[in-house]
Amino acid sequence: MRLSLKLFVTLFFYLFIALMVVVFSAIGGIFTYPIIILASLIFILALKLKVPRGRPYIGAVAAIVSMGLVIGTLALSGAIAIGPLKDNFIDILFIGIVIQLIVSLAEELSFRASIFQGLSDELGIAPAALLSAAGFAVLHIPSMDLVGIGASSGLIAMGTIFFAGIVLALLYAYGGLFNAIAFHFAWNYIEYNLFNLGPLEGAIGVSKPGPDILTGGAFGPEASAVTLAVTAVLAIAIWLYYSRARKAPVE
């Protein structure tokens, strides 16, 4: 089958995003994301992609429930110990809102509204979800190298992020862009900025006496076997929810 122009341009755009993540993010950090946002908007306009806006409710609830389940399981098992609020928690929470808004907007515009949408237009929802989720997981490898997690933790993290990519693709396809952004924002904000579970400073201190296979170690809950199981079940639950509701993809 001959590669269509839209598929070719979508692949080229993915390689551009990969270049931004692998090369420029090491230099520019968070300032790389506005460039990704601008490039995504240009890509969407150039290919005349129809990006459904939708509503954020299902995505926000899914993120809060799933991340709450992860944190609750880890706390009850003794893998993590939740401490008190830090003195500068207001500053941490405010800065976290700004950071996660930028990150979630950039990653959802680039991966769901651009890459997934371009693939879906040509291949259909299921192949596009699988391919975009795999590409999404691959682009997190530099972050894993940066914190220095082991091979087993890295494989768990790749699996978790792959299933999260499936969840985000389904939320986008059936609930719109705001739905996917809400999930991405709430997931990251709870994990990194509310609870100190990853490489960023969180408002609530958390210690990790448990093994890395449960806590995720320095990379955070994405490298936890608990989160891998939760995101796998969540991907199935989201698919069943929209299937039973017999909801068509949003336009």
> What 3-state DSSP class applies to 17?
helix
Q: Is the pLDDT of residue 2 over 90?
A: no
Give me the pLDDT at residue 193, please.
96
Q: How far apart are CA 65 and CA 68, in angstroms?
A: 5
Q: Are 135 and 115 in contact (CB under 8 A)?
A: yes
Q: Are 209 and 79 in contact (CB under 8 A)?
A: yes
Q: Please provide the DSSP assignment of 104-121 as one string.
A: HHHHIIIIIIIIIHHHHH
Instruction: Express each pLDDT in 77-87 by its tens digit.
Output: 999 999 999 99
Q: How far apart are CA 191 and CA 206, in angstroms?
A: 11
- Determine the length of the chain: 251
Give me the pLDDT at residue 1, please.
43
Q: Which two tokens stand for residue 178?
A: 């705001």
* Residue bearing the bigger pLDDT, 72 or 1: 72
Give me the pLDDT at residue 23, please.
82
Lowest-confidence segment of 29-33, 99-103, 158-162 by average pLDDT: 29-33
Say if residue 66 is exposed, middle or buried (CB neighbours under 10 Å; 0-12, 13-18, 19+).
buried
Compute the Cα dihedral for 23, 25, 26, 31 and give only its sign: positive
Closest CA to 177 of 169, 187, 186: 169
Instruction: Express each pLDDT in 197-250 by its tens digit.
Output: 988 889 999 999 999 999 998 899 999 999 999 999 999 999 999 988 766 677
Q: What angle do CA 136, 192, 99 make, to 5 degrees?
A: 75
Q: How far apart are CA 115 and CA 206, in angstroms?
A: 36
DSSP conformation class of 216 = -
Q: What is the largest CA-CA distance in the chain?
A: 60
Write down the domain spans for the chain.
5-244
Distance in angstroms between the alpha carbons of the first and the last residue of the chain: 27
